[in-house]
Structure 1
Amino acid sequence: MANWILGLTGGIGAGKTTVSDYLSQQGICVVDADVVAREVVEPGSQGLEAIVSHFGKHILTEEGTLDRQALRAIIFADEDEKNWLNNLLHPMIRAQLLAQLAHADSDYVILSAPLLFENTLDKYCDKTLLVDVPVEVQIARTCARDNAHQQQIEQIIAAQMSRADKRAKADFILDNNQPLEAMQAQLAALHKSFLQLAEANHA
């Protein structure tokens, strides 16, 4: 396991990827739960085979990949199906994340996960950073980026831990509802702090 792990989280549309991209450019390894979640359901994977066996072939696109929108519609409408899917995928994702964290090699390592607190992944982290914006900004950004319906975005936000609870749990909070230059200055200062914490941990 890497010596010092920063848990990075933020709601949909908060700008978590912008932050992880910046820190990656500083030479920090990023282990991304979103990427791993896609890998465990790629064509030919055990995850995708189990999903097709459970839901049927209509859950696939014409190309044979997972139809995420169709799956999302099912699990938002049916709590039992959502639980079944989580029980299937979460252990696979967790095992892959831990393997990647163990092999990461940089001054500190980022575990980036939108559901860091909800899925108790923060227990693997030394500190946590929340990328924070108001809910109305999340909705506006995501609708513009994904061409999604506002109601669907609101459902996703409602299914996650509240903004207030995330703010209470996080060790550090980055305000991403400010001009890019100001946000990057705040992030650069945080990066410096994380390097110092990691170095102190190695001492």
Structure 2
Amino acid sequence: MKAFAITGGIASGKSAACARFAELGAEVIDADQVSRDLVQPGTEGLAEVVATFGTEMLNADGSLDRRKMRAHVFANLTARKQLEAILHPKVRLELRRRAGLSVAPYVLLAIPLLVEAGHYDWVSGIIVVDVSVETQIARLIQRDHVDDALARQMLAAQVSRDARLAIATWVLDNNDTLAALHQQVDALHQVLLALDSAPENAS
């Protein structure tokens, strides 16, 4: 198994980078999707969430009310830490399990909360999609139709740009065009294909 993690702040362009890697033959496994799978009705994950936060976090059909849960943890740091303590270990195990089943040349684990989650020392390197704060804000305003103040609040809820760059093995600069991002992905794809063992500076 040759697995790499990819991360970046909100509106940095992780999805665009991952889509390009997938086009080139990598298998992309999305931690957000894994997290959703782990709290489906009947799962141990959902049972733990309900035990911690109560049945008021459920929809009428017994599924998790994601919008309500998101609003609750966004406004409450303690609640966010509780939810992360439930989900992060399960997501890590499931990502490693799925990566081990892959037959692709390499696996890319898309993990938005990589810095916060930690414990991914088994991957062969970390890719950070990096943009300036002002670029993030501009894209958030355009993409999510929020105002400048809310965009900055959303960024403040995440770890800093410096914290992400500190764990990077490779950095993709996405301050320019999509074509420029694709060029960088294409070049890095060749590097990852040729890599046989973990880089010395991998985290």
TM-score by length of 2: 0.86
Q: Distance in 1 between matches of 2:109 and 2:33?
A: 11
Match of 2:167 in 1: 169
Q: Aligned partners of 1:159 and 1:123: how far apart in 2?
A: 24
Aligned residue type for 1:56: G
Moved more, 167-176 or 119-128: 119-128
Query: Residues 40 and 47 of structure 1 are in contact (CA less than 8 Å); yes or no, is this contact kept in structure 2?
Result: yes
Distance 1:52 1:165, change over 3 A: closer
**1:96-122 deviations in Å (ceiling 9; x for gaps):** 111111111221211110112221144
Q: 1:135 to 1:37 in 2, by over 3 A?
A: same
Written as runs of structure 1 = structure 2, the 5 A alignment for 1:20-169 is 20-148=18-146, 150-169=148-167
User: 4+ residue stretches of structure 1 with deviation over 6 A?
Assistant: none
What SS does structure 2 have at the residue aligned with 1:111?
Answer: strand
Aligned residues: 198
Structure 2, unaligned stretches of length 5 or more? Answer: 199-203
Q: Verify the 8 A CA contact 1:122 1:128 in the aligned structure 2.
A: no
State the distance in 2 between where 1:152 and 1:50 align.
31
Which of 116-125 and 139-148 deviates more?
Answer: 139-148
Aligned partners of 1:62 and 1:154: how far apart in 2?
Answer: 34
- Give the secondary-structure state (helix, strand or coil) at the position aligned to 1:37: helix
Query: What's the CA shift for 1:91?
Result: 1.7
> 5+ residue gaps in structure 1?
none
Between the aligned residues of both structures, percent identity stands at 37
Deviation sequence 1:160-181 (CA, Å, 0-9, x none): 3211222232111111111122
Q: Which residue of 2 aligns with 1:197?
A: 195
Q: Would the alpha carbon gap of residues 94 and 195 (structure 1) be closer, same or farther in structure 2, given more than 3 Å must change?
A: same
Look up the SS of the partner of 1:65 in the other structure. coil
1:12 corresponds in structure 2 to 10
TM-score (norm 1): 0.86
> Shift in Å at residue 10 of structure 1?
0.6
Q: Distance in 2 between matches of 1:62 and 1:148?
A: 29
Local SS of the residue matching 2:195: helix
2:177 counterpart residue number: 179
